[in-house]
Amino acid sequence: MAVQLGIGDPSVVGRYVERSRAGYGHAWEIRDAYGYFVSREPALPPDRHG
């Protein structure tokens, strides 16, 4: 993975995944940047999607 991302020191990849909220933190950044939010409305059934 480090090679694909162009990271010279692969040990930093291991430290990244050790962080407990790493994935959530990025999800929260994306949510905030694009104004996404969790809807309180029930999801539509698959046959009702536009």
Residue 48 has pLDDT above 80, yes or no: no
The structural domain count of the chain equals 1
* pLDDT average, residue stretch 7-28: 75
Q: Give the length of the chain.
A: 50
Asked whether residue 50 is assigned to any structural domain, the reply reads: no
pTM: predicted TM-score of the whole model, two decimal places: 0.37
pLDDT given at position 37: 84
DSSP conformation letters of 1-50: -HHHHT-S-THHHHHHHHSTTHHHHHHHHHHHHHT----SSPPPPGGG--
Q: Give the range of the structural domain holding residue 29, as residue numbers without chain letter.
A: 2-38
Asked whether residue 15 is assigned to any structural domain, the reply reads: yes
**Residues 26 and 33: beta-carbon distance below 8 Å:** no
